[in-house]
Amino acid sequence: MEAAATSKVDVLIIGAGPAGLMLSLWMAKLGVKTRIVDKRTGKIVSGQADGFQCRTLEIFDSFGIGHKVWHEANHMHEVSFWNPDEDGKIRRHHRGPNTQPNLSRFTEAVLHQGRVESILIDTIRASASPKHPLVEIERSVMPTSLHIDESCVDDEDAYPVEVTLRHLTEEEATPTQRLSNLQDGLYRSNLAEDDTERLLANTAGVGREEKVQAKYVVGCDGAHSWVRKTLGEEYQMKGESTDAIWGVLDIIPITDFPDIRSRCMIHSAEFGAMMIIPRENKLVRVYTQLKQVSTGTGRVDRSQITPDVILETARKILSPYTLDYHYIDWWTAYQIGQRVGDRFSKHNRVFLTGDAVHTHSPKAGQGMNVSMGDTYNLGWKLGLVCKKLLQPHVLDTYELERRQIARQLIAFDQKFSKLFSGRPAKDASDEAGSSMSEFQQAFREAQLFITGVGIHYQPSILTSDSDLKGGLQGTETPSQSQVTSLAESAAHCQPGRRFASQIVLSQADARPWELQLHLPSNGRFRVVVFGGDISQATQLATVNKLGGWLQANWMTDEDPSIVDVLLVHSGPRDKIELLQDLHEVFHPFDKKLGWDYGKVFADDHGKAHKHYGVDPDRGAVVAVRPDGYIGLVTGLEAEDGWTRLQAWFGGLLRPSPSSS
């Protein structure tokens, strides 16, 4: 073995699944020196996760790639519930929208994980520029040791985490079943053993090793996370597995079942439950409960699980409808269980994300979404701290915010899985059975959470406190935030929730825009000024005064400034001249590119003001975090607005070298 080379990097990411790729995307966008390694030779080619929630699509859109997924994916508009009728035959009991209308401009959509990973990888590559180093996924590489030098974790210029990386052979990096049978997903299932231990043990003739000193290390290494295990006992996930085993088939079905292109939740009288997920390219995913493969004592006989066994069960559940297929894309099986870790970070230097810190059943289509949600939350914080734009203590909010979401997810999944796996109750007196109406209601109630749109981060240094409370169940005791919002200024913009989209017209060219598209994920904080009717001189003066204050205080020297200012006004568009009437902060000038015409929007008839809960006579200011979540809501005037903004930014941003 050669002596290990040593190099330094700001961020080292372990694992290139959805969580790792989303994090790399942030790093690539922000231009942070990053390495990402994965023990496998290649990415997923088929199967695995496929459900794309509304909020995830919004996030993809904020990176300019939402339309790609949206175009290729199947959109799921409808859900059908099929239950046994009096003679035990399944019958459609209810049909309704799969995504609650008007939550988002997207509905739930379905596209397989491999395609999603490709899109992310291409976007990471495309983010490279002369100023931003290329972030390339290094395959067939895994860590073999991780050590934190605790003496310097508070020194932000230090590289306190040392990781040894081993470059694997092609054989080590290729799981056995992989090449011979691409459709077989069982080797990656939670019923199969992980190979990390075996690989680590294989010290005879190991490949090249190197040492990396990192400022930050992020474990995105999935359910069997080596990073998590390495961090010690107190990082182990807690929770339980149930006996319920489910099989998954991705097929092009040949069936006379009428709702095969809708999402279906089917409970049969005798043969267990089934879920149907219509997918892209005529594919359909079928989840079926496999009652027969459990050996009773909680152990599972894996060798008994084959696509035929899953198909047989599906046929029994669907009977009298027929089910067959010619083409199978992928199949697997898993055991339902819910686990979540207590700790998501060590010294804010090593972090755990995604399946590495929470696992649950896949049927609600949450894992990939929540995993990317974790690193979407972490990425900009890490990036801006590396760039010395953000105060390092903001990193505390990662565990605070995402652990809450993970716990809500686990609680939802426990309830939902139990109701789904249970035998349908024969009638109201049948207490051992699951009530089908309770099941439907649980599904409906969970919608806001499932779509990701309901996420509501608790108060913290990032999220001001608000009078208008109303989080989801399971909210932890809030850590006190330092600033309070003037919540009534924009009553439907609750701090901690994502800034929703409304359609507004570009002042400069009359183009209608989803306002969210003007809050791209580029690491900038945003001050969205709702100006009200600025064709009124006093209102215009107030807005311009605020503009002057923003310019003087928060337009830092970086190019572009860490704070971005948008103006939405409800005046008549043709009465306003962008360059002439408005303060320059609303049309910043660049020596080479001229004025920026893309920051001011007209809100026809004040419709958007109304949706955001802003009184057009008074206006409001909404400060939005780089991840699109609302941080602060306040007024336009010096007293209400400026002081709160000053305090909020003051607690987060680093004093710019030029100011103070």
Ligand X SMILES: Cc1cc2nc3c(=O)[nH]c(=O)nc-3n(C[C@H](O)[C@H](O)[C@H](O)COP(=O)(O)OP(=O)(O)OC[C@H]3O[C@@H](n4cnc5c(N)ncnc54)[C@H](O)[C@@H]3O)c2cc1C
- Residues annotated as part of the active site: 50, 279, 287, 362
Shortest reach from residue 324's CB to a second copy, in Å: 8
Shortest reach from residue 645's CB to a second copy, in Å: 29
Bridge partners (DSSP) listed for residue 137: 36
Question: Can you read off the two tokens belonging to residue 648?
Answer: 């909020």
Q: Contacting ligand X (CB under 6 A), which of 32, 35, 38, 565?
A: 38
Identify residues 460-519 at the interface with a second copy (CB under 8 A): 506, 508-512
Where do the H-state alpha helices sit in 271-321? 307-318
Shortest reach from residue 457's CB to ligand X, in Å: 20
Shortest reach from residue 378's CB to ligand X, in Å: 12
Say which residue the tokens 């996924």 belong to.
Answer: 137
Shortest reach from residue 426's CB to ligand X, in Å: 31
Shortest reach from residue 65's CB to ligand X, in Å: 17
Shortest reach from residue 293's CB to ligand X, in Å: 16
Identify residues 415-454 at the interface with a second copy (CB under 8 A): none
327 binds, among ligand X, a second copy, none (CB under 5 to 8 A by kind): a second copy
Interface with ligand X includes 17 (CB under 6 A)?
A: yes
Identify residues 40-99 at the interface with ligand X (CB under 6 A): 40, 48-51
Question: Can you read off the two tokens belonging to residue 331?
Answer: 């199949």
Interface with a second copy includes 203 (CB under 8 A)?
A: no
Number of residues that bind a second copy (CB under 8 A): 39
Shortest reach from residue 365's CB to ligand X, in Å: 3
Smallest Cα–Cα separation from 641: which of 614, 660, 605? 614
Interface with ligand X includes 250 (CB under 6 A)?
A: no
195: CB partners within 8 A, 6+ apart? 175
Question: Can you read off the two tokens belonging to residue 606?
Answer: 């004040």
Say which residue the tokens 């149907």 belong to.
Answer: 276
User: Amino acid identity, residue 217?
Assistant: V
CA–CA distance, 606 with 504 (Å, rounded to integer): 9
Number of residues that bind ligand X (CB under 6 A): 36
Q: What angle do CA 453, 459, 461 make, to 5 degrees?
A: 115
Torsion angle of alpha carbons 195, 200, 202, 208, nearest 10°? 120
Question: Can you read off the two tokens belonging to residue 564?
Answer: 């971005």
Q: Contacting ligand X (CB under 6 A), which of 98, 183, 313, 369?
A: 369
Identify residues 200-229 at the interface with ligand X (CB under 6 A): 220-222, 226
78 binds, among ligand X, a second copy, none (CB under 5 to 8 A by kind): a second copy
What single-letter DSSP state applies at residue 640?
I
Smallest Cα–Cα separation from 165: which of 40, 38, 318, 265? 38
Task: Tell me which H or E stretch contains 385.
Answer: helix 367-386
Residue with Cβ nearer a second copy (62 or 289):
62
CA–CA distance, 490 with 572 (Å, rounded to integer): 21
Identify residues 229-288 at the interface with a second copy (CB under 8 A): 252-256, 258, 260-262, 278, 282
Site string for a second copy, 330-369 (x = CB under 8 A): ----------------------------------------
CA–CA distance, 209 with 349 (Å, rounded to integer): 23
373 binds, among a second copy, ligand X, none (CB under 5 to 8 A by kind): none
Interface with ligand X includes 413 (CB under 6 A)?
A: no
Distances in Å between the alpha carbon of 61 and those of 448, 457, 496, 627, 629? 19, 21, 20, 12, 15
Q: Contacting a second copy (CB under 8 A), which of 171, 591, 658, 660?
A: 591
Interface with ligand X includes 337 (CB under 6 A)?
A: no
Site string for ligand X, 116-155 (x = CB under 6 A): --------------------------xx------------
SS3 of residue 285 by DSSP: strand
Question: Are 626 and 499 contacting, i.e. CB atoms less than 8 angstroms apart?
Answer: no
Interface with ligand X includes 18 (CB under 6 A)?
A: yes
User: Amino acid identity, residue 354?
Assistant: G
Smallest Cα–Cα separation from 620: which of 495, 489, 498? 489
CA–CA distance, 5 with 1 (Å, rounded to integer): 12
For binding to ligand X (CB under 6 A), which residues are involved? 14-20, 37-40, 48-51, 113, 142-143, 196, 220-222, 226, 248, 332, 334, 354-356, 362, 365-369, 371
For binding to a second copy (CB under 8 A), which residues are involved? 67, 71, 75-78, 95, 97, 252-256, 258, 260-262, 278, 282, 325-327, 506, 508-512, 574, 577-580, 591-595, 597
